[in-house]
Structure 1
Amino acid sequence: MFKKSFYLLFFSFILFQCKTEEKPKQLSSKNYADVINEEFTGDLAYETTSFVEKYWRVVGNTGFNKTVYNIAENLEKAGFVLEENATEKDMLTYRIEKRPLKNPTWESVDASLQIEGEIVPLLEHATNRNMIALNSYSTPKEGISAEVVYIEDIKNINKTDVKGKIVFAETSPYRIYKSAIIDGKAAGIITYNNPDYLQPEKNTTSIQFRSIPYDSIHKRWAIALSYEAKERLKKSLEYEKTMLNVKIETNIYPSEELTIIADIKGTEKPKERLVFSAHIQEPGANDNATGVGVALEMASLTAKFINQKQFQPKRTLTFLWGDEIVSTRRYVQEDSIRAKNIKWGISLDMVGEDTKKTGGTFLIEKMPDPSAIWTRGNDKHTEWGGSEMSLEQMKPHYLNDFLIDKFKAQGKRANWVVSTNPFEGGSDHVPFLRENIPSVLFWHFTDQFYHTDNDRIDKVSKTTLKNVGTTALIAAYTLLSADENTAKIIISDLEKSAIDRLNEELKQSKIAINNGDSLETQIEIITAWNNWYQKSLATTKDMVSDENSIKIYIEKSQKTIDSISMKIIEKLKG
């Protein structure tokens, strides 16, 4: 009897131990990196990217809408509840916002471009799905046959008889649409203008997607050429009059604009929120099916942590998928009370690249800081390019250095290259910044397949998807749960970053002075960075309920940075 009881107790103990060991780990700032690195696989991000990139996506069209409903389906699998069916107890909710489109939506179906008398087509839609310019109308089923007129200097287009002919020019079709189609009454437009960073002589079949104005009166079309097709057409034009047969099939139809938004409600300060924005439209895999996929796995994994009671964010985490800039701008403008409580915004755009194939590197595009005015040393603009900025446009905030620190740590952990670039704009971080909401962009550049029909799933890396999604969540959870201790750590880290920056600027200023630049300019640069960090330190107050709890730490760091700045200026004078 005793023996049986002993064995029962023994096996009960073993079973209890197994259950205890299986219990999910509680997440905290001490283990965010370890747990999320283990749990974020990149599988859902990659699977979603693969689904989305099959479609040429424009707001309102089939591919765009299928993406929205695919996201919704996966959110429900993860435990999100449609907002209209949710109760106060539901922490995980989503909604699909629907709005009428002013203009019809558009999608490409099929196309071919053939030099009459030649067997091999110049282009076919099956292998060059970017060949049809956005907003192009269909030709008759048998196509259009017309003479090609090459306009070498587009300033002369109005002096050339193009009526009923096909205008060929090396420029954007949008740029010549009025002069060629409306004024010149041309049958259509063919263009080539792939930029050098696409390496067109190497990637000879790439076509960067183009557009023409929506024109329901003239109902014309345009075709963009690859480098290979451009060279063949120009060679043909050298010898004789060239006739082209053009067949295009597109769908243009009334539709609605969809935006899908998922919320993970905070437990203590639900009105305060961090927003991740990932745009759906554009035809590529990296741009921006990857952003859609990473955001979805981030939302799904967070739901898993919440359902398993591993994580309870103090503040709300929001994911937004929609039309680039348009949806984000509306989100931060249409509800002023909501916008007031958006504490951070992050754009996920081109975040899954296999850089061995695409080139470039992962980048954090910083909020406007002095490197956007004085770009030197390790700060470099991308081929996208930045516009001239002023000190009045600066956005001092701890978010820049905080995120850089988190991503550099993941880079070290995963042997992954992480870099930064000065502010350039052009994505979903811009609407946040225009409303004075701290925001950065996660992306890759240079990409030799950017906006081309060679931006396909084979250029995507699941490892990169994992690294970006993992680190974005580590950073997000830290901010969502931020308190006095978080603020103190960030203040200390900011002070170190400021000292590193000021010493680097001293080095760069010495080089500049030796090259003939003025001392006054160098003092202005050092002063600008000093002011940037002084103000950035002050923004840490937004993490605490009582500003006095960190006031002394802020002031101490501000004095240290100011002292170092003054010493650097004295050295430069010196």
Structure 2
Amino acid sequence: MYHRFVPLFAFIFISQVVLAQKAPILKEVDPYFEMIRPEFKGDLAYETVAFVEQYWRIAGNTGFNNSVDWITKRLDEAGYVLEENAGAKSKLTYRIEKREMNRPTWEPVSASLKIVGESTDLLKSSSNRNMIYTYSSSTPKGGVQAEIVYIPNKEVLETKDLKGKILFSDSVSYRTLQSAIKEKGALGALTYDMPSYLQPEKNINSIQFRGLRYEADSPAWALALSFQAKEKLKAALAKGKVEVLVSIETKIYESEELTVVANVLGSEKPFESLVFSAHIQEPGANDNATGVGTQLEMAQITAQLIQENKLDLDRTLTFLWGDEIISTRRYIQEEEKREPEILWGISLDMVGENTDVTGGSFLIEKMPDPSAIWTRGNDQHTEWGGRPLKKEDMKPHYFNDFILNVFKAQGSYANWTVKTNPFEGGSDHTPFLQANIPGLLLWHFTDQFYHTDQDRLDKVSQETLKNVGTAALASAYTLLNGDDKTAKFLAKTILADAKKRLKIEYQLSLEEIKNGGSKEVEMDIISTWNDWYQKALMSISDLSPESNQSKSESKLNKISSSLTKKLGSQ
């Protein structure tokens, strides 16, 4: 999807990569790289992924809670102390927060789907672990045998007698089908819905997991189909009446939600912090056993470096493992429990992919910047998608460019590709941003196995786990120990990045004007980028309240004014 812009920007893009590796701020980061790289092997991260990914995980169920046990055991081994047992001078602590849930938890046991008259199963959960809808109920023992009714549209739901039938659709939403099951007496549903980026005609046995609304007084069951199963079922229906045998066993039971919070107490400014968050729930390896494992090795290495007196952190570093978005949002809101003010938040979600197998690349999802308003050039949304933002949605901050520079440096060192995408949302970075805390997402996309039962250990790269964890820790240590000197280097870096961005946007705007675009719109784009970077420079004050970036801001204004005048004269 980038080919349209390659001829015009290839040189600029290559120059950006080289310059980013030489960013002034890297003088502050390099000592931490030298400290971390020999220690971060990826062994614990990969071992954790292998353990966690064997379970189908949602908050409160066996797999989720066993993953929590794994995390806390490794924290104990690394030297973290349970808060209730910690002394006044304990720097490494953790706690397990327990919450009542507003609904029971759920876990799959087994399922099979068979066309009556066929000798083999159409699907079975031993090879298609995502075929059972989350919160699906069990069928009666021995299964349910009934006729299939194909539902091509909502009108059929309204006009056909569905009582005692099993619904099948590849075009009507499962929520609509669930309502019909409740209201018209259908037994259950079979559905197919695989986005094109999952390449279903290639990955014919993949199933992307789906979920039902939990309704205690109206239990329902549903199965999701692979492309191959859907095609076989439609072919059978084309020949006449079809009956299937469906057998499902699940568990729905009361439980509690667990969240693990580990802290490395800052020695100088303990009430300021950076928070890493990795969610445990979801059944995949990359999503998100890789985040869980990478973050755990990050916590282990941090403890080791502190215990060996190789590292001291001025501010507090927090590692959070829990239920996606829910745990992070609650941690942010419950100020009385966490104490430190959160200055930065980073989400680790799908951070260990073998991109040779999955496709796509490693991405840093940026805080909302103007590329999320005007998405063009090398800034492109992923197939996951993102809505166009407005100027009032912008979150100007140095965090975007700082993190990108650090990760690009690790990419250069390890021959590892690092890219960005405009803000899209949907993971643990969003609660930070909603609370006006700088927040970024580390992830991979496009992934042809995303949310499918093919997201297993063979799609994970230990080398990627190591690269992400190394760059994430180097970033964190730099910020947590950030001071006046760091602020000065950072100001130089942001100014250099701003100049490069304005020049790129200017070239893009020239191209748009030549093709009949509005001068006013293009001048507005340049002006908005200038405003964003002006405020990004001002944000450096969170590292050094005494720092003054007025000279950098003035230089940037001159560059922006010059470029907008040139555009206006076209």
TM-score range, shorter chain: over 0.9
1:385-400 aligned within 5 A: 385-400=385-400
CA drift at 1:450: 0.1
Identity %: 57
Contact 1:192–1:224 (8 Å) recurs in 2: yes
1:127-138 aligned within 5 A: 127-138=127-138
Query: Residues 133-189 of structure 1, C-alpha deviation per residue, up to 9 Å, x if partnerless?
Result: 000011112100000000112343121211110000114754224432111211000
1:52-201 aligned within 5 A: 52-171=52-171, 174-201=174-201
* SS in structure 1 at match of 2:522: helix
User: Does 2:300 match 1:287?
Assistant: no
* SS in structure 1 at match of 2:247: strand
Contact 1:345–1:438 (8 Å) recurs in 2: yes
Q: Which residue identity lines up with residue 320 of structure 2 in the other structure?
A: L
Q: Which residue identity lines up with residue 541 of structure 1 in the other structure?
A: S
Q: Does the C-alpha gap of structure 1 residues 491 and 206 become closer, same or farther in structure 2, counting only changes over 3 Å? A: same
Q: Which residue identity lines up with residue 227 of structure 1 in the other structure?
A: F
Q: Which residue identity lines up with residue 372 of structure 1 in the other structure?
A: A
Q: Which residue identity lines up with residue 490 of structure 2 in the other structure?
A: I
In the other structure, the counterpart of 1:31 is 31
Contact 1:154–1:169 (8 Å) recurs in 2: no
Contact 2:154–2:172 (8 Å) recurs in 1: no
Contact 2:205–2:228 (8 Å) recurs in 1: yes
Q: 1:564 aligns with which of 539, 559, 563?
A: 559
Contact 1:139–1:246 (8 Å) recurs in 2: yes
In the other structure, the counterpart of 1:16 is none
Query: Residues 341-400 of structure 1, C-alpha deviation per residue, up to 9 Å, x if partnerless?
Result: 100000000000000000000000000000000000110000011112110110000000
Q: Does the C-alpha gap of structure 1 residues 33 and 144 become closer, same or farther in structure 2, counting only changes over 3 Å? A: same
Contact 2:273–2:340 (8 Å) recurs in 1: no
| Range 213-222 or range 452-461, more displaced | 213-222
Query: Residues 19-38 of structure 1, C-alpha deviation per residue, up to 9 Å, x if partnerless?
Result: xxxxxxxx984421122111
* SS in structure 1 at match of 2:420: strand
Distance 2:96 2:172 in 1: 35
CA drift at 1:559: 0.7
* SS in structure 2 at match of 1:149: strand
CA drift at 1:337: 8.8
Contact 2:374–2:388 (8 Å) recurs in 1: no
Distance 2:184 2:439 in 1: 45
* SS in structure 2 at match of 1:39: coil
* SS in structure 2 at match of 1:381: coil
Contact 1:112–1:247 (8 Å) recurs in 2: yes
Contact 2:270–2:340 (8 Å) recurs in 1: no
In the alignment of these two chains, the number of paired residues is: 543
Q: Which runs of 5 or more residues in structure 1 are unaligned?
A: 1-26
User: Does 2:535 match 1:522?
Assistant: no
User: Whose radius of gyration is greater, 1 or 2?
Assistant: 1
* SS in structure 2 at match of 1:38: coil
Q: Which residue identity lines up with residue 189 of structure 2 in the other structure?
A: I
In the other structure, the counterpart of 1:14 is none
Distance 1:281 1:202 in 2: 27
Distance 1:318 1:201 in 2: 43
* SS in structure 2 at match of 1:54: coil
In the other structure, the counterpart of 2:314 is 314
* SS in structure 2 at match of 1:302: helix
User: Does 2:565 match 1:573?
Assistant: no
Distance 2:174 2:542 in 1: 45
Distance 1:165 1:405 in 2: 58
1:125-524 aligned within 5 A: 125-171=125-171, 174-335=174-335, 338=338, 341-524=341-524
Q: TM-score, normalised by structure 2?
A: 0.94
Query: Residues 16-71 of structure 1, C-alpha deviation per residue, up to 9 Å, x if partnerless?
Result: xxxxxxxxxxx984421122111100000000000000000010000000001110
Contact 1:288–1:349 (8 Å) recurs in 2: yes
Query: Residues 58-86 of structure 1, C-alpha deviation per residue, up to 9 Å, x if partnerless?
Result: 10000000001110000000000000110
* SS in structure 2 at match of 1:324: coil
CA drift at 1:294: 0.4
* SS in structure 2 at match of 1:499: helix
Q: Does the C-alpha gap of structure 1 residues 173 and 135 become closer, same or farther in structure 2, counting only changes over 3 Å? A: farther
Contact 2:281–2:324 (8 Å) recurs in 1: yes
Q: Which residue identity lines up with residue 85 of structure 2 in the other structure?
A: N
* SS in structure 2 at match of 1:529: helix
Contact 1:115–1:245 (8 Å) recurs in 2: yes
Distance 2:297 2:287 in 1: 17
* SS in structure 2 at match of 1:31: helix
Q: Which residue identity lines up with residue 263 of structure 2 in the other structure?
A: D
Contact 2:45–2:293 (8 Å) recurs in 1: yes
Contact 2:123–2:229 (8 Å) recurs in 1: yes
Contact 2:61–2:105 (8 Å) recurs in 1: yes
* SS in structure 2 at match of 1:330: helix
Distance 1:432 1:232 in 2: 46
Q: Which residue identity lines up with residue 316 of structure 1 in the other structure?
A: T
Contact 1:332–1:339 (8 Å) recurs in 2: no
Q: Which residue identity lines up with residue 521 of structure 2 in the other structure?
A: T
Contact 1:173–1:189 (8 Å) recurs in 2: no
Contact 1:206–1:226 (8 Å) recurs in 2: yes
Contact 1:333–1:339 (8 Å) recurs in 2: no
* SS in structure 2 at match of 1:277: strand
Distance 1:207 1:155 in 2: 27
User: Does 2:545 match 1:555?
Assistant: no
Q: Which residue identity lines up with residue 91 of structure 1 in the other structure?
A: K
Q: Which residue identity lines up with residue 502 of structure 2 in the other structure?
A: L
* SS in structure 2 at match of 1:286: coil
| Range 167-176 or range 336-345, more displaced | 336-345
Q: Does the C-alpha gap of structure 1 residues 105 and 469 become closer, same or farther in structure 2, counting only changes over 3 Å? A: same
Q: Which runs of 5 or more residues in structure 2 are unaligned?
A: 1-26
Q: Which residue identity lines up with residue 192 of structure 1 in the other structure?
A: Y
Query: Residues 199-245 of structure 1, C-alpha deviation per residue, up to 9 Å, x if partnerless?
Result: 00000000000011112222220000000100000000000200000
| Range 165-174 or range 274-283, more displaced | 165-174
